[in-house]
Amino acid sequence: MEQIEAGDAQTLVNILNQEQSKDPNFFFRVKFGKDGRISNIFWRDSMMLEDYRIYGDVLVFDTTYRTNRYNLICAPFVGMNNHWHNCMFACAFIGDDKTDSFVWLLETFLKVMENKKPTSIFTDQDQAMANAIEQVLPNTRHRLCIWHLEQNAITIFGALKKDKEFKYAFNQCLNMCVKEQEFEAKWQAMTQRYELTAHSWYQRVCDLKEKWCPSLSRDFFSAGILSSQRSESTNHAIGFRASKATTLTEFYTIFKKTINRWRSAEKYDEFTCSKSIAFTSLPLSGMLKHAAQVFTLSLFRDFEEEFGYSMATTVQMIGRNEECLLYQVALEDKPWSAHQVNYIHESHNVWCTCKNFEASGWLCYHYIRILHLHSVTRIPDKYVSKRWTKIAKTETWDRLKNQDPTHQYIPWRQTMIRKYYNLILKSQENEETR
């Protein structure tokens, strides 16, 4: 590995020191190697900590990005906000992909994030990283990124690359299986049909199925993420101007511009949510109306989709006792989609075998159908996840507004600038409109 140029490293450290003087809660740490040269660099600002407090239940940690002069590994810690957009929690450069480096990185991250551990973490198939996660985050559910599995699979497909039926079958196994039995049947059928039973890569992937198969990972919260493409898009977003010649100082400038763009988009999303009402082709009443009032516009679309499915289901009562009713809910003409729903009328407690709420934080169409059946017109409070609501970050915005009175006008200014810029472009070629 090429050594980091002393001047470049010192310039970056000076920049990080300047950031800290402007932002008292800015944190950075530099690790030196045995030869006294910088080997690892880690940083996060105060807003990243605020975001992690709210959205830190799911963490995407992708270390496949090395576009810089020194071939260092760039390791962004990425989350997802209440608008289904990326938010950055921290970023680092590390000199190698050994377990010790990942342990240092994860321990540093936890220390500066008030020791709050994520519920789930998404990574690629790197074994050293898996070892570090097991050591530092033993109670966090480690998930493999389906996006990386797909990319790795493409490289070893061989002659199957051009077989559309095979790629469809493979994608069904990766993404579309809701029940474990369904996955097992489809995986076995695929490997037998294409004579992959003895293929070492497919055997290894199957052995790790609990880390990536959706049907085996629905008992813990993952924000509905089934891949690390959000982190992958993060890398592309950070590196859109970076190259093998990019210095650390240049990279940090690109990084800052990207984060500022993300945050401007978030402020605009917050402003839009607070000033607009969700549009839907369905009658805006009952639970759908409540969802429009409490959820962000992005999350409302997910709830609306589930609500639409709920109207195309059949319901059958299959059991009951003094307080609990047991139903079977399935889409019309699709009996394989059936799931069992337990419902307690007095408390409005619902439990579904699809476990969509546990995994994503919003109700599935099975839940919605049973609640609708019992004339429930508002989503019970226990099924409104605050991280997906319009008020998820209200306390943070209010605090910032008090610190900086001009802060509240930023989204409005952005909206007006965009509208008038479009007006100017349309008018420039016509003397009268000018």
Domain boundaries, the chain: 1-145+230-274, 147-227, 286-388, 394-427
| Arithmetic mean of pLDDT, 20-46 | 86
Question: Residues of the chain with pLDDT > 70: what percent?
Answer: 89
pTM of the predicted model as reported, rounded to 2 decimal places: 0.83
Of the listed ranges 127-141, 172-186, 318-332, the least confidently predicted one is: 172-186
Residue 274: predicted pLDDT = 83
- Which 3-state string (H, E, C) describes 294-343? HECHHHHHHHHHHHHHHCCEEEEEEEECCCEEEEEEEECCEEEEEEEEEE
Which pLDDT band holds residue 200 (cuts at 50, 70, 90)?
A: confident
Asked if 41 contacts 28 with a C-beta cutoff of 8 angstroms, the reply is yes
| Arithmetic mean of pLDDT, 261-274 | 90
Residue 242: predicted pLDDT = 59
Distance CA(41)–CA(294), nearest Å, equals 40
Distance CA(129)–CA(99), nearest Å, equals 6
Q: Which residues fall within 8 angstroms of residue 322, CB to CB, at 6 or more apart?
A: none
Residue 150: predicted pLDDT = 73
**Res. 337: pLDDT tops 70:** yes
pLDDT tens across 72-83, in order?
A: 888 899 999 999
pLDDT tens across 59-107, in order?
A: 988 776 665 567 788 889 999 999 988 899 999 988 888 999 999 999 9
Residue 306: predicted pLDDT = 93
| Arithmetic mean of pLDDT, 261-277 | 88
Which pLDDT band holds residue 408 (cuts at 50, 70, 90)?
A: low
- Topology, domain 1-145+230-274: Nucleotidyltransferase; domain 5 (3.30.420)
pLDDT tens across 345-374, in order?
A: 888 899 999 888 998 999 999 999 999 999
| Arithmetic mean of pLDDT, 289-315 | 93
Mean pLDDT for all residues in the chain? 85
pLDDT tens across 226-265, in order?
A: 644 444 554 555 555 556 677 888 888 888 988 999 999 9
